């Protein structure tokens, strides 16, 4: 079976893990964690990068930093992972779902302003498939209405918008290093802090609400409970694994983009024949080939295609169930306007295998797709 995903190893991970074990430094904020933070700050050009145990943790930290009150509203797409909404619901806020664009499946920036009320505090653009949302428009709306912007860039490492790394444009950005992402450490994430006024509080929140980071730097003679917080640090073992992944991210990107482009060129005749819709990458953006998906005619066709591919030893899977239609979404969130695009596209999207070591198996995936539509 050709898997949907296979985590890539650069070859240096095991040596780093051995070093961490030898040094007997296994808890958070050891040398590898600090080196990963430094790499992100230097290469992504963000004011502060804090490594976390997951992107969910980064989103939860971001929600605390937004200083939300019960009943405050947060605008986001419904077509996203549950953590995007959960982080804000945990603070008593109400997610307000806005429909997505038909081309990129990102939040439709032209619908955001209509969703703003006197309770709106935050906009959360989600960069689907590593393709940037229309950030100039979103940032302009946020400035006009005095709102914060938290980028969910879980899928966006190495992608850019007009030359800026995703996650570094809003006040805060959240990255994921889950094993399904381009750069991995099993479970992991990072909070990118682009608003200088939030840096010190972010460190406190990450350290269980204490000023331990200041204590370690010698700025205070003891550390104490200062604020809300939790244990958002990763194990040093995760950071040891992550470091060579970050350092090898450029080559990972090059390989994935070649595979993405091969899919696009090989499947374009199916799009021209009206069988599928292929991904769209607007001009001015550089994406990271996080995923390659096709949109088919209907949910029934998708189900048939999944079974056909499975019979040819190819694992292809759909993606999110829209949050506005989920039980918790109905209870904790609300909808602004129509969700027509979200409902339609979510039922027709199918993700194809895409990982660095896919190699010659990619041709088998392509042939299986062509065989299905030929019949």
8 A C-beta contact, residue 12 and residue 156: no
- Partnered with residue 314 across adjacent β-strands are 2
Q: Along the 375 residues of the chain, how does pLDDT read in single tens digits?
A: 999 999 999 999 999 999 999 998 888 899 999 999 999 999 999 999 999 999 999 999 999 999 999 999 999 999 999 999 999 999 999 999 999 999 999 999 999 999 999 999 999 999 999 999 999 999 999 999 999 999 999 999 999 999 999 999 999 999 999 999 999 999 999 999 999 999 999 999 999 999 998 888 889 989 999 999 999 999 999 999 999 999 999 999 999 999 999 999 999 999 999 999 999 999 989 999 999 999 999 999 999 999 999 999 999 999 999 999 999 999 999 999 999 999 999 999 999 999 999 999 999 999 999 999 998
Helix (H, G, I), strand (E, B) or coil at 175: strand
Domain-embedded: residue 319: yes
Domain-embedded: residue 3: no
Residue 71 sits in the same domain as residue 139: yes
Residue 254 sits in the same domain as residue 226: no
Domain-embedded: residue 5: no
pLDDT on residue 218: 85
Residue 102 sits in the same domain as residue 158: yes
Pick the closest to residue 75 from 110, 45, 47 (CA basis).
110
Q: How far apart are CA 20 and CA 171, in angstroms?
A: 33
Q: How far apart are CA 130 and CA 151, in angstroms?
A: 12
Residue 80 sits in the same domain as residue 215: yes
Residue 270 sits in the same domain as residue 332: yes
8 A C-beta contact, residue 227 and residue 212: no
Domain-embedded: residue 147: yes
Residue 233 sits in the same domain as residue 361: no
Element (H, E) at 306: helix 299-311
Domain of 169, in residue numbers? 13-247
Q: How far apart are CA 137 and CA 155, in angstroms?
A: 21
Residue 276 sits in the same domain as residue 233: no
Residue 289 sits in the same domain as residue 164: no
Residue 194 sits in the same domain as residue 277: no
Give the residue from 215, 231, 247 where a domain finishes. Answer: 247
Tokens of 262: 């091969």
8 A C-beta contact, residue 362 and residue 259: yes
Q: How far apart are CA 363 and CA 317, in angstroms?
A: 18
8 A C-beta contact, residue 222 and residue 16: no
CATH code for the domain of 315: 3.90.1150.10
Residue 239 sits in the same domain as residue 286: no
Residue 57 sits in the same domain as residue 24: yes
CATH code for the domain of 225: 3.40.640.10
Domain-embedded: residue 8: no
Q: 40 Cβ partners below 8 Å, 6+ apart? A: 46, 49, 51, 175, 190, 192, 246
For the chain, the C-alpha Rg in angstroms (whole number) is 21
pLDDT on residue 292: 98
Helix (H, G, I), strand (E, B) or coil at 98: strand
Residue 87 sits in the same domain as residue 153: yes
Give the residue from 247, 275, 307 where a domain finishes. Answer: 247
Give the residue from 230, 247, 264 where a domain finishes. Answer: 247
Domain-embedded: residue 163: yes
Three-class secondary structure assignment of 9-57: CCCCHHHHHHHHHHHCCCCCCCHHHHHHHHHHHHHHCCCEEEEECCHHH
Q: How far apart are CA 151 and CA 127, in angstroms?
A: 8
**What is 325-353 written as a DSSP string?**
GSHHHHHH-EE-S--HHHHHHHTTEEEEP
How many domains is the chain partitioned into structurally?
2
Q: How far apart are CA 145 and CA 129, in angstroms?
A: 28
């Amino acid at each position: 079976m050709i898997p949907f995903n296979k985590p890539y190893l650069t070859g240096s991970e095991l040596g780093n893990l051995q070093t961490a074990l030898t040094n007997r430094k296994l808890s958070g904020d050891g040398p590898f964690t600090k080196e990963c933070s430094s790499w992100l700050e230097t290469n992504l050009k963000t004011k502060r990068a804090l490594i976390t145990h997951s992107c969910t943790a980064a989103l939860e930290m971001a929600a605390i930093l937004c200083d939300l009150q019960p009943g405050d509203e947060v605008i986001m797409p419904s077509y996203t992972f549950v953590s995007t909404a959960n982080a804000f619901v945990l603070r008593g806020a109400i997610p307000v779902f806005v429909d997505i664009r038909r081309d990129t499946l990102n939040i439709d920036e032209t619908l955001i302003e209509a969703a703003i009320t006197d309770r709106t505090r935050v906009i959360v653009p989600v960069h689907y498939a590593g393709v940037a949302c229309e950030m100039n428009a979103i940032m302009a709306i946020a400035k006009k209405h005095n709102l914060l912007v938290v980028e969910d860039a879980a899928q966006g490492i190495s992608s850019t918008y007009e030359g800026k790394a995703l996650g570094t444009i809003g006040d805060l950005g959240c990255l994921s290093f889950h094993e399904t992402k381009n750069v991995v450490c099993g479970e992991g994430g990072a909070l990118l802090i682009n608003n200088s006024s939030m840096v010190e509080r972010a460190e406190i929140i990450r350290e269980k609400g204490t000023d331990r980071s200041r204590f370690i730097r010698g700025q205070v003679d003891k550390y104490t409970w200062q604020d809300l917080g939790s244990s958002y640090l990763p194990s040093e073992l995760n950071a040891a694994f992550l470091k060579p992944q970050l350092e090898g991210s450029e080559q990972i990107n090059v390989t994935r983009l070649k595979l993405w482009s091969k899919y696009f060129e090989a499947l374009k005749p199916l799009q021209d024949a009206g069988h599928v819709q292929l991904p769209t990458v607007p001009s001015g953006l550089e994406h990271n080939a996080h995923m390659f998906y096709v949109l088919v005619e209907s949910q029934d066709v998708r189900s048939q295609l999944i079974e056909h591919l499975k019979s040819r030893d190819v694992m292809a899977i759909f993606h999110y169930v829209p949050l506005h239609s989920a039980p918790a979404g109905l209870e904790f969130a609300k909808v602004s306007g129509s969700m027509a695009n979200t409902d339609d596209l979510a039922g027709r999207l199918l993700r194809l295998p895409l990982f660095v070591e896919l190699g010659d198996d990619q041709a088998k995936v392509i042939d299986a797709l062509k065989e299905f539509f030929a019949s």
